[in-house]
Amino acid sequence: MNDDVQKYIYRTLTIFITGVVIWVGFIFINACGFSLVCKQAAPVVERTPIPTLFPATMPALQIKNKPAAISDTCRVAADDLIGAWVSANSPEEAAFQFVDVNGKTCQATFAEVLPIFNEPNLRHSGSLACVSCHSVDVTISPAQLDLSSYAGILAGSRRENAESKKGTDILGGGIWEKSLLYEFLTISKADIPGHTDAVFADAFVFAGKPFVEPVSTATPKP
Ligand code: HEC
């Protein structure tokens, strides 16, 4: 009785193992034939006959009037920019340097200073542009001051007429902190319309670009 059960178990096991071996063998031979180098088991290689990535030999496309990235422009308090220009002896064309809010040395020209006098809403929304009062016609401009152009700013205030090139110097003779312009931009004057909220240091502008030291071409000495 015991022997019979054992026989059954052995027989079943033998049949099962033989079945598995035959089955695996069948699959192997079916897929690979009678060789051990089974090509069909290798991963499928997906290749396109044409290269899809061409080497970048073309020059980069130049976009006209491309706005400079914010990271390469300089941000500065409006009065610091004017101050740097005055301290550099107020050049009309030549570039002058200033330090921006991040301590970066930057370079700008008068062309970037002038808009500060021309732009409304600079100090706060609704604030008047300087030129809406101090404009070309000195006979009606308060303090006979024309802030609309380089010539006007240099001519100064209290001018007799448009022809007179010499008024009161508003640029402090190149010493910014001593200038009338500095005084009227940074100190509020309760009784003067347009100057009741003169704290200009809160007005920031983007101007100029980072100053890059010209690369020296001298060969280093050994
Ligand atoms: C609402 C009109 C108005 C606006 C806007 C205005 N001002 Fe004036 N400004 C005046 C008046 C008024 C005086 C004093 C005139 C006087 O004393 O006879 C004056 C005086 C000045 C003076 C002194 C001149 C001197 O010889 O005493 C300077 C400098 C000046 N303004 C610069 C500016 C600047 C820079 C801005 C722009 C941020 C500006 N003003 C905006 C009306 C204005």
Phi/psi for 187 (5° steps) reads -115, 130
Considering the domain architecture, whether residues 99 and 27 belong to the same structural domain is answered as no
CA 195–ligand 1 middle distance (angstroms): 7
Q: Residue 216 above 60 pLDDT?
A: yes
Considering the domain architecture, whether residues 185 and 91 belong to the same structural domain is answered as yes
The reply to whether ligand 1 has any atom less than 6 angstroms from the CB of 199 is: no
Contacts of 9 (CB under 8 A, 6+ apart): none
CA 136–ligand 1 middle distance (angstroms): 14
Considering the domain architecture, whether residues 80 and 120 belong to the same structural domain is answered as yes
Q: Quick one: which atom of ligand 1 is closest to the CA of 157? A: 26
Considering the domain architecture, whether residues 78 and 158 belong to the same structural domain is answered as yes
Considering the domain architecture, whether residues 158 and 114 belong to the same structural domain is answered as yes
Q: Quick one: which atom of ligand 1 is closest to the CA of 167? A: 26
Smallest CA-to-CA distance from 90 within 148, 15, 170 is with 170
Mean pLDDT of all residues in 9-15:
95
Residue 221 lies in a domain: no
Residue 61 lies in a domain: no
Residue 16 lies in a domain: yes
Mean pLDDT of all residues in 73-100:
94
Handedness of CA 88, 90, 94, 95 (dihedral sign): positive
Q: Quick one: which atom of ligand 1 is closest to the CA of 117? A: 37
The percentage of residues in the chain with a pLDDT greater than 70, rounded to a whole number, is 83
The reply to whether ligand 1 has any atom less than 6 angstroms from the CB of 194 is: yes
Test site for ligand 1: of 122, 182, 184, 200, most ligand atoms within 8 A of the Cβ: 184
Q: Residue 149 has which token pair?
A: 């152009």
Considering the domain architecture, whether residues 121 and 200 belong to the same structural domain is answered as yes
Statement: the pTM of the whole predicted model exceeds 0.75: no
Domain span including residue 172: 70-210
Test site for ligand 1: of 192, 200, 202, most ligand atoms within 8 A of the Cβ: 192
Q: What is the pLDDT of residues 147-180, one digit of tens each?
A: 999 999 999 999 988 788 889 999 999 999 999 9
Classify residue 99 as exposed, middle or buried by CB count within 10 Å of its CB (0-12, 13-18, 19+).
Answer: middle
Residue 32 lies in a domain: yes
